[in-house]
């Protein structure tokens, strides 16, 4: 399945035709969730792969065997991608870990009534857009990124593939706040307190870990270990699909890399769009204070 130049317009949102079809997207909306399922939800480049690794390690009690022998897309397939059903059928793992980038207005109704656990992963939008921009340069199944100012405008307008970051985070987090089965974890929290994050996730999963197991999880999902782990660094993907000479999936793994890309004007503009679009949203962003201080 190449379809590298195809984009699927599904309910007004563009999805890369490589791995997504109208049928696979529609099937996602009819997916029969089981109460034992664990669903990772994120906008792209927010730390999805990191959370997949954390979940594999927690459910393996810190043992890295699975994370070093099975690709992340088989351990935690994307619900909306065409191979998902086949992967889940072939797997006997409990809990099933499933990943999705779908917005809440599409997937929310499917989840309704299910006790599946949801982990929403978010990240500072400035770091998201920078990471996404670099990823567009290597991922041949994504449209040409163009210049950074053009790309940033598309991000702010919500016209990139996977739709609007603002709608995604607003709609999903309005749910996570109200449910015991849902957790909102930020990339920044993972960066600043990885052991704490692992404990929060293991508690949601009711999968208690002893200190030694937590330490092993921390070690194996560090940026340096994931960068060299072929099961998560995407070097298993052939050059025709990802041009590894143009960058690496495990690129920098840092908070605040946006400062190397954004002009002061772009920063001010994003902040004003953020303020307008997030009106009425009670989320407190861990990165906001830090950004504020640095731009004063």
Point out the catalytic residue in the list 20, 101, 134, 168: 101
Do 256 and 192 form a contact (C-beta atoms < 8 A)? no
Q: Which of 221, 231, 270, 274 binds ligand A3P (CB under 6 A)?
A: 221
Residue 82 bears catalytic tag:
no
CA 19, CA 7: separation in Å to the nearest integer? Answer: 10
Among 24, 42, 164, 229, binds ligand A3P (CB under 6 A): 42
Provide the minimum distance between the beta carbon of 191 and ligand A3P in the complex, in angstroms, as a whole number. Answer: 6
* Range in contact with ligand A3P (rule: CB under 6 A) among 78-86, 176-184, 248-256, 286-294: 248-256
d(CA 134, CA 249): 9
| Per-residue contact string for residues 2-41; x = within reach of ligand A3P by CB under 6 A | ----------------------------------------
- Would you state the structure tokens that stand for residue 187, as one six-digit string? 């990339």
Q: What's the order of all strands across the beta sheet hosting 182-186?
A: 97-100, 38-42, 117-122, 182-186
Helices (H), the chain: 22-29, 48-59, 65-69, 72-75, 84-90, 104-111, 125-138, 148-157, 165-176, 187-192, 194-204, 211-220, 223-228, 264-277, 286-295
The interface region with ligand A3P, picked from 20-28, 31-39, 168-176, 222-230 by CB under 6 A, is 222-230
Residue 193 is encoded by which pair of tokens? 């307190």
Kindly tell me the sign of the dihedral angle through the C-alpha atoms of 152, 156, 159, 161. Answer: positive
Regarding 46 and contact with ligand A3P (CB under 6 A), the answer is yes
**Number of chain residues interacting with ligand A3P (CB under 6 A):** 20
Q: Which of 16, 47, 64, 77 binds ligand A3P (CB under 6 A)?
A: 47
- Cα separation of 286 and 102, whole Å? 24
Contact 75, 56 (CB under 8 A): yes
One of 181, 256, 257, 277 touching ligand A3P (CB under 6 A): 257
Reading the block at residue 227, the tokens are 């960068």
Among 42-50, 76-84, 201-209, 269-277, the segment contacting ligand A3P (CB under 6 A):
42-50
Minimum distance, C-beta of residue 256 to ligand A3P, in the bound complex (Å): 10
44 belongs to the binding site for ligand A3P (CB under 6 A): yes
Helix (H) or strand (E) holding 184: strand 182-186
Contact call for residue 163 and ligand A3P (CB under 6 A)? no
For the segment 129-148, give every residue that binds ligand A3P (CB under 6 A).
Answer: 131, 134
Q: Is 56 in the site for ligand A3P (CB under 6 A)?
A: no
Would you tell me which residues interact with ligand A3P (CB under 6 A)? 42, 44-50, 127, 131, 134, 221-223, 226, 250-253, 257
- Indicate which residues carry an active-site annotation: 101
């Amino acid at each position: 399945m190449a379809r590298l130049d195809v984009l699927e317009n599904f309910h007004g949102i563009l999805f890369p035709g490589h791995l997504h079809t109208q049928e696979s997207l529609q099937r996602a909306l009819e997916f029969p969730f089981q109460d034992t399922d664990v669903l990772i939800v994120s906008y792209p480049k927010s730390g999805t792969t990191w959370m997949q690794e954390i979940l594999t390690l927690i459910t393996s009690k810190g043992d890295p065997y699975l994370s070093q022998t099975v690709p992340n897309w088989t351990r935690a397939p994307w619900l909306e991608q065409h191979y998902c059903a086949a992967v889940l059928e072939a797997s006997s793992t409990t809990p099933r870990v499933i990943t999705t980038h779908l917005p809440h207005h599409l997937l929310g109704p499917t989840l309704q009534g299910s006790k599946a656990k949801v982990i929403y992963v978010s990240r500072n939008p400035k770091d998201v857009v920078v990471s996404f921009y670099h990823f567009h340069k290597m991922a041949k199944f994504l449209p040409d990124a163009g210049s950074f100012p053009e790309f940033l405008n598309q991000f702010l307008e919500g016209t990139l593939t996977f739709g609007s970051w603002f709608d995604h985070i607003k709609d999903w987090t309005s749910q996570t706040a109200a449910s015991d089965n849902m957790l909102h974890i930020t990339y920044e929290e993972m960066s600043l307190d990885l052991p704490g994050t692992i404990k929060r996730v293991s508690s949601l999963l009711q999968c208690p870990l002893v200190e030694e197991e937590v330490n092993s999880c921390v070690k194996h999902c560090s940026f340096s270990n994931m960068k060299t782990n072929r099961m998560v660094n995407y070097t298993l993907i052939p050059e025709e699909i990802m041009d590894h000479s143009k960058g690496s999936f495990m690129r920098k793994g840092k908070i605040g890399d946006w400062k190397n890309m954004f002009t002061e004007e772009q920063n001010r503009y994003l902040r004003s769009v953020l303020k307008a679009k997030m009106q009425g949203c009670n989320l407190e962003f861990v990165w906001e204070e830090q950004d504020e201080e640095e731009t004063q």
